[in-house]
């Protein structure tokens, strides 16, 4: 059974709460979720399976100091990946967004995680998430009409979060089971 590492960026705590929910749903093979601001690259490299989460800020940006976060987050962490190899790692992505207020960049920050890890050899799992039950104008996180990971809207579709998490986790469960 593979050990699963869960890392997230957050300022308001919503992405952390989703990380904790994911850890609870997966069970004992997960490590305690870690805020990316306290992690080093080697922490991520310790796992064969990673679940990475991020909210989307403003115009589709990652959380970080330039978006008004009080502490560092993904924006500051991703450059630290330079020179590191994630071949053999399986990476599942989830993101939070608000399709009503930010429909022109809904969930876009997930794309930055996708690009950063895929370009370093990671196998992205849990992608090709259906965009059909969302109403938004544009998202950088869409490739071939599918999201590159699970996108959750805790503002306008909170009632669908648990069902979406269960379906997404069921699809990626074989990598650690």
pTM to 2 decimal places: 0.96
Each residue of 9-20: pLDDT tens digit? 987 789 999 999
DSSP code, position 15: H
Range of the domain at 41: 4-175
67 C-beta neighbours (distance < 10 Å), count: 18
- C-alpha gyration radius of the chain: 15
Q: Residues of the chain with pLDDT > 90: what percent? A: 86
Question: Which H or E run includes 157?
Answer: none
- Domain with residue 82: its CATH number is 3.40.50.360
pLDDT at 106 over 60: yes
Phi, psi of 95 (to 5 degrees): -145, 155
Domains identified in the chain, total number: 1
Each residue of 50-99: pLDDT tens digit? 999 999 998 899 999 998 888 899 999 999 999 999 999 999 999 999 99
């Amino acid at each position: 059974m593979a050990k699963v590492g869960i890392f997230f960026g957050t300022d308001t705590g919503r992405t952390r709460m989703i990380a904790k929910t994911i850890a609870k749903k997966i069970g004992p093979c997960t490590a305690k979720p870690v805020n990316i601001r306290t992690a080093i690259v080697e922490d991520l490299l310790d796992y064969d399976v990673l679940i990475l989460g991020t909210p989307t800020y403003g115009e589709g940006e990652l959380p970080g100091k330039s978006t008004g976060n009080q502490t560092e987050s993904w924006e500051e962490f991703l450059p630290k990946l330079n020179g590191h190899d994630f071949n053999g790692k399986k990476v599942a992505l989830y993101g939070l967004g608000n399709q009503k207020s930010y429909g022109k960049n809904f969930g876009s920050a997930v794309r930055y995680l996708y690009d950063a890890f895929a370009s370093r050899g990671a196998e992205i799992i849990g992608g090709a998430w259906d965009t059909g039950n969302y109403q938004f104008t544009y998202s950088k996180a869409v490739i071939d009409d599918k999201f590159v990971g699970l996108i959750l809207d805790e503002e306008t579709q909170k009632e669908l979060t648990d069902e979406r998490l269960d379906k997404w986790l069921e699809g990626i469960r074989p990598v650690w089971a």
